[in-house]
Structure 1
Amino acid sequence: MPRLPRLRHHAGPGAAGRAKGLFPGIAVAVLVAITAQFLSEHYGAPAMLMALLLGLALHFLADEGTRTRPGIEFASRAILQVGVALLGARISAQMIADLGLATIGLVVAGIVATILVSLLLARAFGQDWRLALLTGGSVAICGASAAMAIAAVLPRDERSERNLAFTVLSVTLLSTVAMVAYPPLVGALGLSAPEAGVFLGGTIHDVAQVVGAGFSISPEVGETATLVKLIRVSMLAPVVLAVSLAVRARGQAERVAAGGRPPLLPGFVLGFLALATLNSLALIPVPVADLAAGLSRWALLAAIAAVGIRTSLVRMLAVGGNAVALIVAESALLAGVILAGLHLLS
């Protein structure tokens, strides 16, 4: 009797296989994030900045054909989006109401003015509108987190990774400078404690630097500054929606695999809004909200490490001095708008 051929089971590219392929790159991004956090805690350097710089030094790990490339690409997009979505657990409607309509209006005016003027300044500085939205949004809202969220809905080109890395590097450095320079400026201007909190929270780019600057003056200033900063973070979803609408209106929305357009609001923005809504309804216990905040920070650290790994330092430096002048001008504009508003409100 003839022997039948032995059938072999061929494992398809299922979830386990995909996870195995992504693991090396994700592990590298997480290790870089842990190293960046260690350096931040022991030497006082911003963790985001450390993650980006360490990532840039490991660019060879994202070369074509390396085992780490798929996981690094995954971390720079999917893990990034998870980190942004988890930020919503820190936002609540009560937090927004506590500040008052006048202060909220001033914060929103600063955000809108910074982003709109950045588009005009980009033309004067000879920069692309994508870079203007990245830098303007990161300065106006919440630094590196906003830059990564906005980058996720912009049409991609060969400069996308370079522009994102440049924006994160620049906005983190500027935020650190502001953390040191703004508290003495507050004293020189004679601002009251509430006004100082609004100024620091309304102008410094990253949350950690806002906390550092505010509490270096007094607990009252620190608490107000942190609250104002979180109001700026809550503007992330509407700004991303506005950018998404603008991109679609220009006919530049990226096509999805099925051939149609991507959803109006990306999934991570919907997650942000859902968590903010649950937190507003007091359905998220404080320990869970704290856990979400911690997970968000680690996810964003790993994501920016992956962005750094994917970015060539030589290409990033090719952005040029005009791009640096653009983001500095945006930061100065935001500070000017908030100071002018405080003067009018007083």
Structure 2
Amino acid sequence: MSTSSPTLAHPLPSTRGQLNGVLFVALFAAAVTRVASLPAIAGLGISPLIVGIVAGTIYGNALRDGMPESWAAGVNFSARKLLRIAVGFFGLRVSLQEIAQVGLPGLVESVAIVVGTLAIGTWVGMKVMKLDRDTALLTAAGSAICGAAAVLAFESTLQSKPHTSAMAVGSVVLFGTLSMFLYPLLYRAGWLHLDTLGAGLFFGGTIHEVAQVVGAASNVSPEATHIATIVKMTRVMLLVPVLLALGVWLNRPARGRVAEGAHHAQGSRKLAVPWFALGFLMLVVVNSLHVLPAVATDTANTLDTFALTMAMTALGIETRVSQIREAGPRALTTGLILYVWLIAGGLGITWAVERLFG
């Protein structure tokens, strides 16, 4: 009896510590959500996810020593496993009917922007700015697909370090917020030379976050806002094929090394296949079939935003400023280069799409 009691007793404090850690992150995320709802913050199109990683990073670097060590497992659970679930449920925000409304022009615009931004961002980040692969990919993903949510999805697939996500989100915050003010000014000044359809394609195809797209396009017209939102959600849909392609790409060199006789520690890379992306796609189909009441969908989306906020807050808590300092300027420069591409290249793609389908 005496020998078995320690082994039985040991998991209980561990489990309790993990639950306490998850509860701590949940309470932290609730406070973050309240702050993000303040008019001054919400008016800038800054989502709870972004406030979460900023607040979490401040806490993680200034007050982390005040958190019991046993809670770390709960923080890690929120930043990893909860994250995958939340990204999967993000699919309830998209429907195939909405994407069909903008048709082929919206799809071509989205694919061209996503592929171009990922390729340019990865190449510039790794070859020019000498960033590590994960930081380059996360920075490119945030600009290419759907801002902070894409960074989270890629982070989960790459299994990268938290500070790389923080740098990528910083780029999304800076340049996405700038777009909210710059794009309407350029449009009203007549420098973009776009009609309502073109403005919707350009705004939805090149601005980082969904809230930022709505904020910017609402300064043009309701029609442009509608088109821009749908184009943006088309980009969100592309998260699934991009993540699946990324998983295949990550697995390919691992198989090669095993075949050459290298020790198969790299075999764990097979876990990089993002099965949560298939859950995302399944929920897009569910949402498109309208089998769920609107109240249920709205509730699920609210809970999903909260879960994503928890994940982002947890990533912030695990982030160390000293790690950000090492690659921060180079990551930000990569984000700037991508931003110039999104404006110039995005305009060129929009003009080409309008001419092609006009």
TM-score by length of 1: 0.88
Cα displacement string for residues 79-133 of structure 1 (whole angstroms, at most 9, x for unaligned residues): 2112211111122222222111122112101100110111221201111222121
Shift of 1:291: 1.9
Confirm whether residue 343 of structure 1 aligns to residue 339 of structure 2.
no
Q: Give the 5 Å matches for 1:2-151.
A: 11=8, 19-45=15-41, 46=46, 47-59=48-60, 60-61=63-64, 66-122=69-125, 123-151=127-155
Cα displacement string for residues 188-238 of structure 1 (whole angstroms, at most 9, x for unaligned residues): 324222221111111111111111112233222221111111111111111
Aligned counterpart for 1:241 among listed residues 213, 238, 244: 244
SS in 1 for 2:157: coil
Q: Give the 5 Å matches for 1:163-182.
A: 163-182=164-183
Equivalent residues of 2:64, 2:317 under 8 A apart: yes
Equivalent residues of 2:148, 2:169 under 8 A apart: yes
Shift of 1:18: 6.1
Higher helix share: 2
- Cα distance in 1 for residues equivalent to 2:159 and 2:6: 41
SS in 1 for 2:70: coil
- Cα distance in 1 for residues equivalent to 2:203 and 2:303: 25
- Cα distance in 1 for residues equivalent to 2:66 and 2:327: 21
How many residues of Structure 1 are paired with residues of Structure 2 in the alignment?
Answer: 338
Aligned residue for 2:275? 267
The more displaced of 68-77 and 332-341 is: 332-341
Note closer, same or farther for the CA distance 1:279–1:12 as it changes in structure 2 (3 Å cut). Answer: farther
- Cα distance in 1 for residues equivalent to 2:65 and 2:254: 31
SS in 2 for 1:139: helix
Structure 2 unaligned residues grouped into runs of 5+: 258-262
Confirm whether residue 222 of structure 1 aligns to residue 225 of structure 2.
yes
- Cα distance in 2 for residues equivalent to 1:81 and 1:264: 12
Shift of 1:10: 6.9
- Cα distance in 2 for residues equivalent to 1:209 and 1:328: 17
Shift of 1:264: 6.6
Match for 1:87: what amino acid? F
Note closer, same or farther for the CA distance 1:173–1:25 as it changes in structure 2 (3 Å cut). Answer: farther
Aligned counterpart for 2:336 among listed residues 323, 328, 332: 328
Match for 2:40: what amino acid? G
Match for 1:48: what amino acid? L
Match for 1:145: what amino acid? A
Equivalent residues of 1:155, 1:247 under 8 A apart: no
Aligned residue for 2:260? none
Shift of 1:298: 0.8
Shift of 1:13: 7.2
Shift of 1:322: 1.8
- Cα distance in 1 for residues equivalent to 2:298 and 2:68: 39
Q: Considering only aligned residues, what root-mean-square deviation do their CA atoms show, in Å?
A: 2.9
- Cα distance in 1 for residues equivalent to 2:88 and 2:331: 29
Structure 1 unaligned residues grouped into runs of 5+: none
The more displaced of 302-311 and 63-72 is: 63-72
- Cα distance in 1 for residues equivalent to 2:159 and 2:15: 27
Cα displacement string for residues 13-47 of structure 1 (whole angstroms, at most 9, x for unaligned residues): 77x87652222222222222222222222243223
Aligned counterpart for 2:285 among listed residues 271, 277, 280: 277
Shift of 1:68: 2.1
- Cα distance in 2 for residues equivalent to 1:165 and 1:63: 22
Aligned residue for 1:154? 158
Aligned residue for 2:317? 309
TM-score by length of 2: 0.85
- Cα distance in 2 for residues equivalent to 1:44 and 1:65: 34
